[in-house]
Amino acid sequence: MEAARLRLLRLAERAAWALGLVGLVWWGAFQAEAVTSTTHDLQRFAELQGLVLEAGTPDQSLWSPQRVVAWRALMVDAAPAPLAVLRIARIGLEVPVLPGTSDRTLDRAVGHIEGTALPAADGNIGIAGHRDSFFRRLEGIVPGDLIEVDVLRERHVYRVERSWVVDPTDVSVLAPTPSRALTLVTCYPFYFIGSAPRRFIVRALPVSRVASQTIAESVQKWRP
C-alpha cells in the first residue's frame, strides 16, 4: 500500500512539473506577442515619420483569462494607423495613440476620444487608456512631468498642470478649451477589482513644439 502511494505521489509530482513548464512556455509566448503588437503600431507610425522606435508592453498582471484571449486575437487583427505617439519619460511610458476608445483599441494602445481635438489641432485633446494596461503608470505622475506627443511633422511637449479624480458622469473635463490642452483619462482606483467607479484625470498644458526633423536626433533621450 505504501509503495502504491509513493508511486502516485511521484506521478503527481511529474504531472505538476509538466503543467508548470507548459504554463511557462504559454506565458512567454503571450508576452512576446504583446510586445509584437505594440511595437508594430509604433513602427507603423515611425515609418510615416521616418523614425525607428521601440515599444514596451503594458502591465497585464490583473488581466482576466478572457482579456488574454482577446489580446491574442488582436495580434492578427490590423488596427488603424496611429494618430500620434505619446511619451512620458519619467514614468517610462511610450504608446501609440489610435483613433477611438473601443475595448479592442484600448487593449493594444491608448485611444483618441472622439469629439475632442485631434493631437495636432488646437483645443482640448482627450486621450483615454485602461487603468490595468498602459495607463497604469499614470498612478505615478506628478505636476511638472513632461509629456511628449509626436505627430507626423512635429513634436508637441506638454507639462502636467494637475491630476484629480471625478465621477464618470463628469464630462466637463473633455469640454473644449480656448487654447491647446492635453487631457488623459483612465479609470480609478487603479487596483480596484471589477468596474472602477471613478475616473483619474491628468491635465497638461503646452510648453514647446519641435519640428519633425529634430525628433530623430532626440527620440532616444527620453528613455529612463
pLDDT digits (tens, 9 = 90+) for 95-133: 999 999 998 888 889 999 999 999 989 999 999 999 988
**Phi, psi at residue 78, to the nearest 5°?**
-65, 140
In tens, the pLDDT along 16-39 reads: 665 665 555 544 554 545 555 566
Give the SS3 label for residue 179: coil
Contact 82, 98 (CB under 8 A): yes
CATH fold for domain 2-218: Sortase; Chain: A; (2.40.260)
Residue 208: phi and psi, rounded to 5, are -165, 170
pLDDT at 79 exceeding the cut of 70: no
User: Is the omega angle on the peptide bond into residue 96 within 30 degrees of 0, that is, cis?
Assistant: no
Q: Distance between CA 93 and CA 154 in Å, rounded?
A: 19
The DSSP string of 59-124 is --TT--HHHHHHHHHHTTS--PPPSEEEEEGGGTEEEEEEES--HHHHTTSEEEPTTSPPTTSSSE
Coil, helix or strand for 203?
strand
131-169 tens-digit pLDDT:
988 999 999 999 999 999 999 889 999 999 999 999 999
3-state secondary structure 121-141: CCCEEEEECCCCCHHHHHHHC
